[in-house]
Amino acid sequence: MKEHTLVLKSISCTFEELNENEQLLISKAKQATENAYAPYSHFNVGAAVLLDNGEIISGTNQENAAYPSGLCAERVAMFYANSKYPNAAVKAIAIAAFTNGQFIELPISPCGACRQVLLETEIRYNQDIVCYLYGSTEITKVQNIKTLLPFCFNADSLKVK
């Protein structure tokens, strides 16, 4: 038996400590929460994706009474970005959540399904996707999605050995 240790490297900071481009991406994610369709959970999530062509694509969570027919903001933004700009690599994503009249205090993290989709995009373009997880009291910056999903399922998992 062999023991392994995983290390999650991230940076915690405030909004003011980020550069102008990072602030803009987070602001777009926060703005996107206004357009979320979350009549059941009242947990509005917004995501903003920065592409290497300079475009920023936003997405919101879309709930449905027939759970789990809805979609998370991260996947809405990512699928739209990949569909509209199939040749543009994703450089970064910011995620924010708003509930009970305010943004959540601690950073929000993508669910497992969203992490898988983000990782697939990172692999597809062979480029790290920086991930900004917004909380009103702190922001977590992760350098790539693989960090969020260390035991990932990818194309290599489908190969018979």
Are 104 and 30 in contact by the 8 Å Cβ rule? The answer is no
DSSP bridge pairs for 71? 62
The alpha-helical segments, DSSP class H, found in 33-111 are 73-84
- The structure tokens listed for 101 are 């009249």
C-alpha 158/C-alpha 66 separation (Å) is 31
C-alpha 63/C-alpha 43 separation (Å) is 10
- Residue 74 is a catalytic residue: yes
Residue tagged active-site, from 22, 63, 74, 122: 74
What are the catalytic residues? Answer: 74
